[in-house]
């Protein structure tokens, strides 16, 4: 069972109102009474929710716990969800909060303060430029695209796990799960400007991570290594 149990009810109801006000606004409203049973909703979202939780938790066991905790909280708060069209963002917001609580319960405080001073050097890294300059082996006419083709699912997951969580979350929500920046900001309960800033930092850490991973794992060989 989920290791972190608590904080259900009021928090999720308040979050439901907040996320509903923002996420999926274009989807329109459902007629009250059209609401699907929660079990159907949970089954529909389970695969993607699990993928989100794996990327969030960085650990399969923790991801299992997180999925269960999320669904438990969501099940209890579901009657207060006024617009079922916005269930997806609401579920992800609950998962994010459950993950934060999970970290706190284990003594790992999840940082919610700005990160402006963190990894300032990495902010300038350009994977595009690095590939062009290093021109790594194997050589190719489609150097940049071939570099990306080297990565399997596990490789990308490994790189993602190395990204600072506060920068990783905006990337996961927008790039992997297709939320708009505005929706992601609502899910994370941060201003849009902060979201965009963190998305940029996450992207830079992703670029740096992909390059470092490729070199460290022998996916490419640079001129320095051949000497």
Give the binding site for other proteins (CB under 8 A). 1-2, 38-39, 42-43, 46-48, 50-52, 54-55, 60-61, 64-65, 67-69, 71-72, 75, 124, 126-129, 144-145, 148, 151-153, 156-157, 171, 174-176, 178, 180-182, 196, 199-200, 203, 206-207
Two structure tokens written together for 63: 């991801």
Q: What distance in Å separates the CA atoms of residue 57 and residue 67, rounded to the nearest whole number? A: 10
**Residue with smaller CB distance to other proteins, 29 or 114:** 114
**Residue with smaller CB distance to other proteins, 54 or 166:** 54
**Residue with smaller CB distance to other proteins, 17 or 199:** 199
Report, in Å, the least distance between residue 144 CB and other proteins: 5
Helices H, strands E: what count in the chain? 11, 0
Given the structure tokens 């640079």, which residue do they identify? 222
Q: What distance in Å separates the CA atoms of residue 141 and residue 37, rounded to the nearest whole number? A: 53
Report, in Å, the least distance between residue 15 CB and other proteins: 20
Two structure tokens written together for 144: 């940049």
**Residue with smaller CB distance to other proteins, 50 or 82:** 50
Report, in Å, the least distance between residue 10 CB and other proteins: 19
B/e letters for 175-207, b = 16+ CB within 10 Å, e = fewer, are: eebebbeebbbbbbebeeeebebbbebbbbbbb
Report, in Å, the least distance between residue 227 CB and other proteins: 27
Report, in Å, the least distance between residue 67 CB and other proteins: 6
**Residue with smaller CB distance to other proteins, 84 or 227:** 84
8 A C-beta contact, residue 12 and residue 74: yes
Q: Which residues pair with 137 in a beta bridge?
A: 221
**Residue with smaller CB distance to other proteins, 17 or 182:** 182
Given the structure tokens 């716990």, which residue do they identify? 65
Report, in Å, the least distance between residue 115 CB and other proteins: 16
Q: How far apart are the first and last CA of the chain?
A: 53
């Amino acid at each position: 069972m989920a290791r972190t149990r608590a904080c259900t009810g009021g928090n999720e109801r308040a979050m439901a109102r907040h996320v509903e006000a923002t996420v999926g606004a274009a989807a329109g409203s459902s007629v009250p009474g059209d609401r699907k049973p929660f079990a159907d909703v949970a089954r529909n979202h389970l695969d993607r929710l699990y993928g989100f939780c794996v990327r969030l938790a960085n650990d399969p066991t923790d991801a299992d716990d997180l999925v269960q905790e999320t669904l438990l909280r969501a099940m209890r708060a579901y009657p207060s969800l006024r617009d079922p069209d916005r269930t997806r963002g609401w579920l992800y917001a609950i998962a994010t909060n459950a993950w934060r609580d999970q970290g706190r319960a284990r003594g790992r405080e999840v940082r919610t303060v700005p990160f402006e001073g963190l990894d300032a050097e990495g902010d300038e890294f350009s994977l595009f430029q690095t590939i062009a300059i290093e021109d790594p082996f194997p050589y190719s006419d489609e150097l940049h695209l071939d570099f990306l083709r080297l990565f399997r699912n596990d490789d990308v997951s490994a790189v993602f796990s190395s990204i600072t969580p506060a920068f990783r979350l905006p990337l996961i929500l927008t790039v992997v799960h297709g939320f708009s920046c505005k929706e992601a900001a609502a899910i994370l309960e941060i201003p849009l400007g902060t979201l965009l800033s963190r998305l940029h930092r996450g992207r830079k850490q992703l670029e740096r991570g992909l390059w470092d991973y490729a070199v460290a794992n022998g996916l490419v060989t640079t001129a320095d290594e051949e000497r």
